[in-house]
């Protein structure tokens, strides 16, 4: 049924044009910008992500070289560097953010049966941020220090499937724990966080919402021990305590007892101390839950290495956010494709294949079958262990 369709067109067939147009209408995206529609802009930016284009001129040159195939790839406008730059500056970035959220809603049920690395019946989320350095003279809207600019990509990752469920792009000065105010807690879910998210009042908000947290504590955490439970030290556990916070502000901001679990990581010869509001799970399970936080670190590493989010095609806040959200939607689209086609292939290899075959008029399954034998047999474990979805 894919006879005559390019691989790119087959990819885009997994997107809902109707849902995209709803996002466009929500922000009046095409009302005053007739030179390049939001849809054509999205296709061009997605193409740039798939093929690792370096600049707007690079995108224009590559697409013009295949001008005879563009109509069959879904393009309805001529892609020029100037019109694409103008679209990135003027089309509201929220169009692409909302469409990425729609794709996330499609992807999460597809990955609902994926393993999390720990036996848990509840939802498990990992929250973290990554910093992307920018040039202050080109990006003055995102100051970090007196001589540098940067943005932060705050991400809440569903560990089951490694699908981002919440993303916030802010200047790097914004603190990590403040993002907890932007997240709507899910009752019964577990939120895994590092030390930057220690904030008594915000953790108490999770508790009031009947959600659970596991956060690595700081050394200067002020508390008083109420009770200690016995632990099996052969498992790496060192203590399991019920405590109350005694800091000047934390005692008032978090008035309930909390649980403090200390674990010794023999592999890295370090002691890890966790704070949680869950008293039902075994202490060893609490420490295992924290290990799942590494998946969000791998997610950041992967998108930085394999998508275009470290260098940008425009310098305005709107252009940067448009590019980041397009990259996220491409990531989620590949995750959807993997499930729809039941592919036993890492996302990295899948992107490798797609990047060099977008213009071919061959069914995707056949393209993948033909290319698999020519690719290296083993993925780099440093990059890809997260993505054996």
Each residue of 265-299: pLDDT tens digit? 888 889 999 999 999 999 999 999 998 888 899 89
- Tell me the helix, strand and coil percentages in the chain, rounded to 5: 45, 20, 40
Given 265, 297, 329, which residue is the final one in a domain?
A: 297
Tokens for 59, please give them.
């995108």
Taking the CA atoms of 170, 176, 179 and 181 in sequence, report the sign of the dihedral they define.
Answer: negative
**Rounded CA separation 347/305 (Å):** 12
370 pLDDT more than 90: no
Q: Please report how the helices 93-110 and 38-51 are oriented relative to each other, as an axis angle in degrees rounded to 10.
A: 60
Is 304 domain-assigned? no
Split at pLDDT 50, 70, 90, the class of 377 is: low
On whether both 283 and 182 belong to a single domain, the answer is yes
Let me know whether 255 and 201 are in one domain: yes
Joined together, the tokens standing for residue 63 give 């697409």
Q: Which of 237, 262, 297 is the last residue of a domain?
A: 297
- The gap between the terminal CA atoms of the chain, to the nearest Å, is 27
Domain boundary among 262, 297, 332: 297
Contact 298, 386 (CB under 8 A): yes
Mean pLDDT taken over the chain:
89
**Greater model confidence, 228 or 344:** 228
Strands 223-229 and 237-245: antiparallel
- Closest Cα to residue 382, out of 270, 288, 305? 305
pLDDT tens digit sequence for 174-215: 999 999 999 999 999 999 999 999 999 999 999 999 999 999
User: When comparing pLDDT for 223 and 161, which is higher?
Assistant: 223
- 307: nearest Cα among 348, 336, 356: 348
Q: Which residue has the tokens 């203590």?
A: 239
The CATH code of the domain that includes 156 is 3.90.350.10
Q: How many domains are contained in the chain?
A: 2
pLDDT at 380 over 70: no
Which positions ≥6 away from 15 have C-beta within 8 Å? Answer: 103, 333
From the CB of residue 342, how many other CB atoms can be counted at a distance below 10 Å?
A: 7
pLDDT band, residue 32 (cuts 50/70/90):
low
């Amino acid at each position: 049924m894919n006879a005559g369709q390019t691989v790119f067109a087959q990819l885009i067939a997994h997107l809902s044009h109707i849902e995209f147009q709803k996002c466009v209408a929500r922000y009046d995206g095409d009302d005053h910008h007739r030179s390049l529609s939001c849809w054509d802009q999205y296709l061009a930016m997605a193409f740039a992500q798939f093929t690792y284009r370096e600049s707007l001129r690079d995108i224009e040159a590559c697409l013009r070289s295949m001008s005879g195939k563009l109509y069959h790839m879904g393009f309805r406008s001529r892609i020029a560097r100037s019109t694409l730059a103008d679209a990135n500056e003027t089309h509201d970035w929220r169009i692409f953010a909302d469409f990425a959220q729609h794709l996330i809603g499609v992807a999460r049920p597809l990955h609902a049966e994926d393993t999390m690395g720990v036996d848990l019946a509840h939802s498990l989320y990992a929250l973290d941020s990554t910093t992307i350095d920018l040039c202050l003279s080109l990006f003055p809207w995102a100051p970090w220090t007196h001589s540098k600019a940067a943005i932060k990509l705050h991400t809440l990752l569903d560990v089951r499937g490694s699908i981002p469920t919440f993303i916030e792009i802010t200047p790097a000065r914004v603190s990590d724990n403040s993002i907890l105010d932007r997240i709507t807690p899910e009752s019964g879910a577990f939120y895994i966080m590092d030390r930057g998210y220690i904030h008594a009042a915000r953790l108490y908000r999770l508790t009031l919402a009947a959600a659970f947290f596991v956060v690595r504590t700081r050394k200067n955490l002020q508390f008083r021990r109420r009770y200690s439970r016995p632990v099996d030290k052969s498992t790496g556990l060192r203590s399991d305590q019920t405590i109350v916070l005694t800091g000047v502000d934390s005692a008032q901001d978090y008035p309930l007892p909390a649980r403090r679990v200390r674990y010794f990581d023999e592999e890295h010869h370090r002691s890890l101390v966790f704070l949680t509001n869950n008293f039902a799970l075994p202490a060893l399970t609490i420490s295992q839950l924290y290990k799942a936080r590494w998946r969000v670190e791998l997610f950041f590493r992967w998108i930085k290495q394999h998508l275009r989010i470290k260098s940008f095609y425009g310098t305005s806040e709107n252009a940067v956010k448009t590019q980041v959200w397009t990259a996220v939607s491409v990531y989620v689209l590949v995750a959807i494709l993997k499930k729809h086609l039941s592919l036993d292939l890492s996302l990295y290899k899948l992107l490798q294949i797609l990047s060099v075959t977008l213009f071919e008029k061959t069914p995707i399954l056949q393209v993948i079958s033909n290319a698999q034998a020519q690719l290296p047999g083993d993925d780099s474990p440093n990059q890809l262990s997260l993505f054996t979805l």
